[in-house]
Structure 1
Amino acid sequence: MLQDMIETIEQLAQTQGDFPVYNILGEVHTYGDLKADSDSLAAYIDFLKVAPKSPVLVFGGQEYEMLATFVALTKAGHAYIPVDQHSALERIESIVEIAEPSLIIAVGDFPIDAREVPILDLAQLQDIFAQKATYQLSHSVKGDDNYYIIFTSGTTGKPKGVQISHDNLLSFTNWMIEAEAFSVPERPQMLAQPPYSFDLSVMYWAPTLAKGGTLYALPKELTTDFKQLFKTINQLPIEVWTSTPSFVDMAMLSNDFNAEILPQLTHFYFDGEELTVKTAQKLRQRFPNARIVNAYGPTEATVALSAVAITDEMLENCRRLPIGYTKADSPTFIVDEDGNKLANGQQGEIIIAGPAVSKGYLNNPEKTAEAFFEIDGLPAYHTGDLGSMSDEGLLLYGGRMDFQIKFNGYRIELEDVSQNLNKSHYIKSAVAVPRYNKDHKVQNLLAYVVLKEGVASQFDREIDITKAIKEELKDIMMDYMMPSKFLYRDSLPLTPNGKIDIKGLMNEVNSR
C-alpha cells in the first residue's frame, strides 16, 4: 500500500533511475531525471522564501516540465494549481484572483499581467534544472495538506478550486492500484492525454508513478490534426488508455485503431462523462480482449469513487452501463430530496463520504457550505448526480440533477433522450438541449446531431433525414421525449476537458 507519493517517487529514482518516466513524442526523461530536476526546483522555491504551504499556479500543456514542477512543489510543501495553456483569458484571470497564488510557474507563455505575483518562465525553469542542486525532504506535502487544487470548468459563474489533500490522493491511488476492476499492470505504459487541469489526468499519472511506469504524453495540438493524431497513436507502445469516451470516439474514426495494429493496448479506463453502450460495443469490436473499465466520480471526491469492468452481458442487456462498485473506504448513499437514505433500487442523489472527499473549495466558504457536509461522522459531498444502488452493490447512473427537465408535465432526463437518439443507425452522435421561454419554462426540446458519413447524401432535404430518424426511433422513444427540432452539425463542441459541451449548447440555444 502506498504511504507517501513523493517518497515512492524518490525510491523509484534509486531503484530504477534509468527507467523512462515520461516520453513526449520521443523526448524521453527518466526517473533519475525527474528526481534531479525536481530537487533543483524545490531548492530554488525554498530559496525564494514564498509563504509556507501557499498554492503555486503551474501553467502549460503536456510538457515534461509540468510533471517535474508538480513533483518539485510537492517536495517543497506547496500545492500546485494546474492551468491548461489553452484556457480562456477570463478563466485564467478568475483563477489568479480566487487562488491568490504565491508564485506562477509558466511552462507555456503566460498571457496575462498577474501584477504582484512573481513568475518563473520556461527558460528560467530550465536554468534551474541545469543547476543540479541536491534536496533533502523535510517539509513535503503530507496528510491533510493540499496536494493539488483543480478548478472546475463551469460554463457560467466563477470557477471553483477543489482542494485535494495528500490523504485524499492516497485514498484514490491505493484503491485504483489494488482494485480488480482496473487491474493496473506492473510498470504501466500509460497514455497521458487529458490535460493536467482536468482531474481525469490523475487517473493516469498517479497509478503510473505509484507503480514505476511510463507516461506517453499526447500534446493537445495533435488532437486537432486527425491525420497526425492517428499516426502518433499507432506508434505509441501504450498498454493503458485513459480518456473521456468522447476522445476514444475520436480515435475510432481511424479504422487502424484496433487490436491488430495496437496488440499491446489491453486496458481502457473511462471517466469524466458517461460511457455509452454504443461506444463500448464499438470498442469491444475493435479490441475484443481488452479490459474496458467504466469509472465514476466528481473532482470533489478525488477523481473516481466507483469502477467496473464492462462485460459482454452488460453490453448486450444494459440500456445504460453501470458506473461501478464503490470504494471500500468511501460509503456511498442514495438520498431523497430531504436527505433521507433510500433503499436499493430507488433513485435519488448520489452522496459520497469518506477520506477521498475534499475539504472544500479554495477561498469560497459559501459554495463549500452548500456542497460539503457530514454524514455518519464522515466528510461528505453532494454530487448533484442521480443514481440508484443495486442489491449487489452496483451503482447505476441516472443523469445530472441539473440536466433533468420538466416538459409538458413529464420529467425528462436529457441524457436519456441523447442515449435514445444515438441508437439511430443514421446518427454518429447527438445530444438533446432544452429551449426555455421568458418564464424559464421549457418551451421545446432540440437535438444537435452529427450524422454518420454518407447519410446526408441519401436524402434531398434535412427534413427528410429528421423524418427518417423519428420513424426509426418511434418504438423506443416516448412521443414526449422526441425533440421537435433537429440541428445538423459536422461536429459537436467539446469542453477543454474533452467532454461534449452540453452546457455551452444550452447557453447557445437560450441566448438567441
Structure 2
Amino acid sequence: MLNIVEGVRQYAKTDRLAVICGEESISYADVEKYSNILGNYLIDKFNSDIPTVIYGNKDVMILVAMIGSLKSGKAYVPIDTSSPAQRMKDIIETVQPEVIFNLSDKEIMLDSSVSKNVEILDKATLMNLMIEKSNTYDFEISREKWVDNDENSYILFTSGTTGKPKGVQISTYNLDSFSEWISPVLGIDGSEMVVLDQPSYSFDLSVSTLYPGIIFGATLFSIPNSLILDFKKLYAELKKSNIKVWVSTPSFANMCLNDETFSQELLPELETMLFIGEVLPVPVAKELLDRFPRIKIINGYGPTEATVGISQVSINREHINANKSLPVGIPMPNSVIKIVNDEMEEVPKGEKGEIVIVGPSVSKGYYKNPEITNKSFYVEGESIFKEKSPVSALDEKLRLRAYKTGDLGSIDDDGNIRFFGRKDFQIKLNGYRIEIEDIENNLRKINEISSAVVLPINKNGEVSHLKAIVVLKKGINESKLKKTVEIKRELSKLIPKYMIPRSFDFIDEMPLNTNGKIDRKKLYADIVEEA
C-alpha cells in the first residue's frame, strides 16, 4: 500500500520541490526535516492521539503541519479561512485540540469551552520552532509512532442536519487504498511533474492531488483564494505553472472558460483533468475538449465518506454527443457499488435507486457521533466479495464497511454509474455538499425569523442556486432588498458563504400539508408560477 509519509521520506533524497505557493516554495527535503522536528516536538510535549487543527488556506507550511501531525500519531483537521467564526468554534469544541496551527493572517479567538492548555502555533512561531528545536528534534521518527492502518489521518467536517458540522473520519487505510487507485488514473507515477492544488484543504477534492502527488514526488502548485479573485494574476500564475494534472470542480473550470486565453496554449503541459465534487455539465466538458484537444478529461463520483472518489470514466466525444448527462464512471476494482430501493434490496440494472458503497475507501463514520454514524454506515455480508481475489487480513476485516450515500443513481449495462442527485435534502452546489436542514436551522437562529425553508433551484438538470422562503416574527416593514441584505449578513456569521441562499422571499405564513408539515411542494409550485 502507498503512504504519504513514506513518499515525503523517499523524495527528500532528491532536489524536488513539494509545494509552490506564490513566491514561496518548499522542497521535499525541508518537508522531511521540518516534519521530523515538529513530529518529535508533538510527541514530546503532547503524547496523545488528539487531532491537531490546521487553520489556513494555502501555505507551504501546511504540508509540514500535516506530515508532522501524522508522524506524531495525530490526525489533522483542516479548517479553511473562509469558514465563519461559529463553524470554526463548533469544530474546535468537538475536537478539543491541544495544538492549533494558525497558518493565516487572522487571529484565532478561543472561548472557555476549549482547553486553556491549547497551543496556537502561527507561521512565525512554527518557523522559529524549526530553528530552535533543530538540534533536539531533527531525527527520523519510527513508523510505529505514525498514524497507520485504520487510525485517522484526517477528519473533515461537513454540513450537518442539526446545524452543527459533522466530522468524517478518514484513515491511513482509506487514503492508501484511494491513492493506489487514483494515481495511475491521473498519470501520477513518480516522474517529475506539477499538479494543480486549487481546492481548499477543508474540501475533500483537494486530497485527489495532495496525497497521490506527495506519495509520488510531484510538485503541488497551490492557488490561494486571493488569487481566484484576481483573474489577471490567476492566468499569469497558470501560465508559468507547467501543470500536467488539473483537479477542480466543474464550476471552477467553467469560470476559467469565461476567458478565451484558457486553452492548451496557456497550459501546454496539461495532460489530465479530473472532476469530482459536482455534476460535470455536458457543455463544459465539450468546451474543455475543444480548448484542450490533447488532454484526457475524467469524470468521477464519490462522497467524502468514501474518501473523495469511488468511480471514474474518461469522457469522449461519444459521451458528449449522446444527448444525456455524463456517466460518473466504473467503480474502483476493490469496491462494490449497489443500487438499492427503500427496503435495501438491489434493483435491476438500469433502474434508479440509492447508491450504496462497499469497500476499503469507506470511512469508519463520524467523529464522536455514533448516533448519526449508525444511520448511514453498516457492515456488509462477506458474500458480496466472494468472487474477488484473495486479500490481506486487514482488507478482509475492513473492506466490508458500507455507506448509504443518500444519492440516487443507476448502473448502465457497461457498468458505468449514472448520478441523479440527492435522495433527501442534501444537495451539491458548486462542488460543495450542503444539507438544506443545516441552512434552515441556522436561519432560525436569527432572532427575527419565525420559520424558514430553503429550496434548491434546478437549471439544466443541476442545482444552480438556493432560494430561502422566510416568515418574520413581526412581518416586514422595509424593502425586501434591505431585509435580504441584513439576513445574509447575519447568516454569514453562522455558515460558510457557499451555503447562503442567493435570493429570499418573505411570506406571512408557511403552507402546511395534510400531515401538518410545511408543504414544500406548494412552495416549489409557487416559485414555478412566479417564473
Bucket of the pairwise TM-score, normalised by the shorter protein = 0.7 to 0.9
Q: 2:211 and 2:456 mapped to 1: Cα distance?
A: 30
Residue 187 (structure 2) aligns with: 183
Assess, with a 3 A threshold, how the Cα gap between structure 1 residues 318 and 510 changes in structure 2: closer, same or farther: farther
**TM-score, with structure 2 as normaliser:** 0.76
Alignment of 1:92 with 2:88, yes or no, is yes
Q: Secondary structure at the match of 1:242?
A: strand
1:128 Cα deviation from its structure 2 partner? 1.5
Residue 120 (structure 1) aligns with: 121
Assess, with a 3 A threshold, how the Cα gap between structure 1 residues 22 and 145 changes in structure 2: closer, same or farther: same
The counterpart of 1:170, out of the listed 167, 176, 179, is: 176
Is the contact between residue 152 and residue 160 of structure 1 (CA under 8 Å) also seen in structure 2? yes
Is the contact between residue 355 and residue 379 of structure 1 (CA under 8 Å) also seen in structure 2? yes
Residue 234 (structure 1) aligns with: 239
Alignment of 1:380 with 2:402, yes or no, is yes
Alignment of 1:217 with 2:239, yes or no, is no
The counterpart of 1:142, out of the listed 145, 148, 155, is: 148
1:510 Cα deviation from its structure 2 partner? 7.4
1:311 Cα deviation from its structure 2 partner? 0.8
The counterpart of 2:32, out of the listed 19, 35, 41, is: 35
1:506 Cα deviation from its structure 2 partner? 7.7
Write the deviation string for residues 156-183 of structure 1: whole angstroms up to 9, x where unpaired: 711110000000001100011134xx33
Assess, with a 3 A threshold, how the Cα gap between structure 1 residues 507 and 162 changes in structure 2: closer, same or farther: farther
Assess, with a 3 A threshold, how the Cα gap between structure 1 residues 3 and 255 changes in structure 2: closer, same or farther: closer
Residue 10 (structure 1) aligns with: 9
Q: 2:372 and 2:360 mapped to 1: Cα distance?
A: 20
Greater Cα shift, 145-154 or 115-124? 115-124
Q: 1:189 and 1:274 mapped to 2: Cα distance?
A: 26
Identity of aligned residues (%): 36
Assess, with a 3 A threshold, how the Cα gap between structure 1 residues 354 and 334 changes in structure 2: closer, same or farther: same
Q: CA RMSD in A?
A: 2.5
Is the contact between residue 102 and residue 118 of structure 1 (CA under 8 Å) also seen in structure 2? yes
Assess, with a 3 A threshold, how the Cα gap between structure 1 residues 97 and 432 changes in structure 2: closer, same or farther: closer
Residue 273 (structure 1) aligns with: 278
Q: Secondary structure at the match of 1:29?
A: strand
Residue 335 (structure 1) aligns with: 340
Q: 1:155 and 1:218 mapped to 2: Cα distance?
A: 31
The runs of 4+ residues in structure 1 deviating greater than 6 Å are 434-438
Q: 2:60 and 2:331 mapped to 1: Cα distance?
A: 33
Assess, with a 3 A threshold, how the Cα gap between structure 1 residues 223 and 184 changes in structure 2: closer, same or farther: same
Assess, with a 3 A threshold, how the Cα gap between structure 1 residues 157 and 201 changes in structure 2: closer, same or farther: same
Assess, with a 3 A threshold, how the Cα gap between structure 1 residues 315 and 143 changes in structure 2: closer, same or farther: same
Residue 393 (structure 1) aligns with: 415
Q: Secondary structure at the match of 1:381?
A: strand
Higher relative contact order (CA 8 A, sep 6+): 2
Residue 21 (structure 2) aligns with: 24
Alignment of 1:245 with 2:247, yes or no, is no
Q: 2:178 and 2:369 mapped to 1: Cα distance?
A: 24
Residue 488 (structure 2) aligns with: none
Q: Secondary structure at the match of 2:284?
A: helix
Matches within 5 A, 1:403-482: 417-419=458-460, 431=464
1:188 Cα deviation from its structure 2 partner? 3.4
Q: 2:160 and 2:311 mapped to 1: Cα distance?
A: 23
Which sections of structure 2, spanning at least 5 residues, go unmatched? Answer: 383-399, 428-454, 472-491, 509-531
Write the deviation string for residues 53-96 of structure 1: whole angstroms up to 9, x where unpaired: 21111111110111111001111110000111221001000001
The one-letter code of the counterpart of 1:105 is F
Assess, with a 3 A threshold, how the Cα gap between structure 1 residues 325 and 511 changes in structure 2: closer, same or farther: farther
Assess, with a 3 A threshold, how the Cα gap between structure 1 residues 246 and 7 changes in structure 2: closer, same or farther: same
**TM-score, with structure 1 as normaliser:** 0.79
Assess, with a 3 A threshold, how the Cα gap between structure 1 residues 435 and 68 changes in structure 2: closer, same or farther: closer
Q: 1:84 and 1:324 mapped to 2: Cα distance?
A: 30
1:49 Cα deviation from its structure 2 partner? 2.5
The one-letter code of the counterpart of 1:384 is G
Assess, with a 3 A threshold, how the Cα gap between structure 1 residues 60 and 338 changes in structure 2: closer, same or farther: same
The one-letter code of the counterpart of 1:145 is E
The counterpart of 2:375, out of the listed 370, 373, 380, is: 370
Write the deviation string for residues 365-400 of structure 1: whole angstroms up to 9, x where unpaired: 111111111222411111111000012110011111
Q: 2:238 and 2:287 mapped to 1: Cα distance?
A: 18
Alignment of 1:64 with 2:60, yes or no, is yes
Assess, with a 3 A threshold, how the Cα gap between structure 1 residues 310 and 379 changes in structure 2: closer, same or farther: same
Q: 2:333 and 2:255 mapped to 1: Cα distance?
A: 34
Q: 2:497 and 2:85 mapped to 1: Cα distance?
A: 21
Assess, with a 3 A threshold, how the Cα gap between structure 1 residues 500 and 61 changes in structure 2: closer, same or farther: closer
Q: 2:40 and 2:309 mapped to 1: Cα distance?
A: 33
Write the deviation string for residues 338-377 of structure 1: whole angstroms up to 9, x where unpaired: 1111111010000001111101111111111111112224
Residue 129 (structure 1) aligns with: 130
Q: Secondary structure at the match of 1:239?
A: strand
Residue 464 (structure 1) aligns with: none
Q: 2:501 and 2:353 mapped to 1: Cα distance?
A: 26
Q: 1:334 and 1:280 mapped to 2: Cα distance?
A: 26
Q: Secondary structure at the match of 1:240?
A: strand
Assess, with a 3 A threshold, how the Cα gap between structure 1 residues 510 and 162 changes in structure 2: closer, same or farther: farther
Assess, with a 3 A threshold, how the Cα gap between structure 1 residues 328 and 35 changes in structure 2: closer, same or farther: same
Greater Cα shift, 110-119 or 243-252? 110-119
Q: 1:337 and 1:506 mapped to 2: Cα distance?
A: 33
Q: Secondary structure at the match of 1:234?
A: helix
Matches within 5 A, 1:141-160: 141-153=147-159, 157-160=163-166
The counterpart of 2:264, out of the listed 256, 259, 268, is: 259
Q: 2:200 and 2:126 mapped to 1: Cα distance?
A: 20
Q: Secondary structure at the match of 1:384?
A: strand
Assess, with a 3 A threshold, how the Cα gap between structure 1 residues 29 and 384 changes in structure 2: closer, same or farther: same
Assess, with a 3 A threshold, how the Cα gap between structure 1 residues 101 and 509 changes in structure 2: closer, same or farther: farther
Alignment of 1:45 with 2:42, yes or no, is yes
1:261 Cα deviation from its structure 2 partner? 2.5
Q: Secondary structure at the match of 1:333?
A: strand
Residue 527 (structure 2) aligns with: none
Write the deviation string for residues 413-438 of structure 1: whole angstroms up to 9, x where unpaired: x9994225x9xxxxxxx826577799
The counterpart of 1:208, out of the listed 198, 213, 226, is: 213
Q: 1:511 and 1:173 mapped to 2: Cα distance?
A: 50
The one-letter code of the counterpart of 2:18 is V
Q: 1:437 and 1:44 mapped to 2: Cα distance?
A: 51
1:318 Cα deviation from its structure 2 partner? 3.9
The one-letter code of the counterpart of 1:184 is I
1:50 Cα deviation from its structure 2 partner? 3.9
The one-letter code of the counterpart of 1:32 is A
Assess, with a 3 A threshold, how the Cα gap between structure 1 residues 86 and 404 changes in structure 2: closer, same or farther: closer
Q: 1:198 and 1:340 mapped to 2: Cα distance?
A: 32
Q: Secondary structure at the match of 2:20?
A: strand
Assess, with a 3 A threshold, how the Cα gap between structure 1 residues 510 and 374 changes in structure 2: closer, same or farther: farther
Is the contact between residue 105 and residue 121 of structure 1 (CA under 8 Å) also seen in structure 2? yes
Is the contact between residue 3 and residue 215 of structure 2 (CA under 8 Å) also seen in structure 1? no
